[in-house]
Structure 1
Amino acid sequence: MRKARGRLSMTSLIDVIFLLLLFFMLSSTFSRFGEIPLNSAASGAGGASDQPVLFARLTGTGLSVNGREITDETTLAALRPDGPVRVLLSVDDTALAQGLVDAVVILRALPDATLTVLE
């Protein structure tokens, strides 16, 4: 005579599935963050320099260098003197974080430029 089988318990299978789900969720990276190294101007850190200086100001509406609106690298290249240059970037309270990243990318495109973010 044939013996009747009992019901299979699904509890252990569900536990294994939840453990696998938890493992893959914790080990996955959904977004990657980039870093932008910045030089911050601290009190007493500056000294006399013979390099020309460009004064940049970032506001919520855009970027200006020496009082002139900058839209891209070519506009900035017209203002740049020959040789190494020092760029001082002042950030307004209305500026967004993405605007700061965009401004740093534009200003870093200058060859031989040292970028300093003012506090």
Structure 2
Amino acid sequence: MAVKLQGIKRGRLSMTSLIDVIFLLLLFFMLTSTFSKFGEVELMAAGQGAGAGERQMLFVSLNEDSLSLNGQPADLERIADLIKLQPQAGRGHLVLISPGEDASSQRLVDLLSQLRQVGNLQTLVLG
């Protein structure tokens, strides 16, 4: 007696669910990614004073709760206006910033963003 054994018949694999999963993963990663442009703050390390003689030097002392321009108390929101009122010599102003030990980096960034409003200004952050 001959026995006919049928092999296991495999059905077609449906790709529809795989495409749905890939689409959902793509959508998830697109929505969770950030496409924001980060702001830049230019810092220049203090070095040799090559062209410092041609600029009017100003000294800013930055602490967590106080700010002074050339030893006089100043307000962070008005620091740009105070520097604009200072007399210029040669090519503009050179602002030396001395952050105190208690000054946060956010406060330094806020100061640098305020000083960016002043034209012909070079800043040096002292360590």
> TM (normalized to structure 1)?
0.69
In 2, the alpha carbon distance for the partners of 1:70 and 1:85 equals 17
Alpha carbons 2:58, 2:93 under 8 Å: kept: yes
Whichever residue aligns with residue 62 of structure 1, its letter is S
Unaligned segments of structure 2, at least 5 residues: 1-16
Alpha carbons 1:70, 1:76 under 8 Å: kept: no
The 1:77–1:69 alpha-carbon spacing in structure 2 relative to 1, beyond 3 Å, is: farther
CA RMSD of aligned residues (A): 2.8
Task: Determine which structure has more spread, i.e. the larger CA radius of gyration.
Answer: 2
Whichever residue aligns with residue 112 of structure 1, its letter is N
Aligned to 1:37, which of 35, 42, 53?
42
In 1, the alpha carbon distance for the partners of 2:87 and 2:119 equals 11
In 2, the alpha carbon distance for the partners of 1:56 and 1:94 equals 15
Q: How many residues align?
A: 108
In 1, the alpha carbon distance for the partners of 2:56 and 2:125 equals 16
The 1:93–1:12 alpha-carbon spacing in structure 2 relative to 1, beyond 3 Å, is: same
Q: Does the alignment pair 1:68 with 2:66? A: no
Of all paired residues, the percent bearing the same amino acid is 33
Alpha carbons 2:44, 2:123 under 8 Å: kept: yes
Whichever residue aligns with residue 94 of structure 1, its letter is D
Aligned to 2:124, which of 95, 116, 119?
116
User: What secondary structure does 1:57 align onto?
Assistant: strand
User: What secondary structure does 2:42 align onto?
Assistant: coil
Q: Indicate the residue corresponding to 1:24 in structure 2.
A: 30
Structure 2 matches for 1:1-119, cutoff 5 A?
Answer: 12=18, 15-16=21-22, 19-25=25-31, 28-29=33-34, 31-42=36-47, 45-47=48-50, 49-71=53-75, 72=78, 73-78=80-85, 80-83=86-89, 84-119=92-127
The 1:51–1:74 alpha-carbon spacing in structure 2 relative to 1, beyond 3 Å, is: closer
In 2, the alpha carbon distance for the partners of 1:57 and 1:77 equals 17
User: What secondary structure does 2:114 align onto?
Assistant: helix
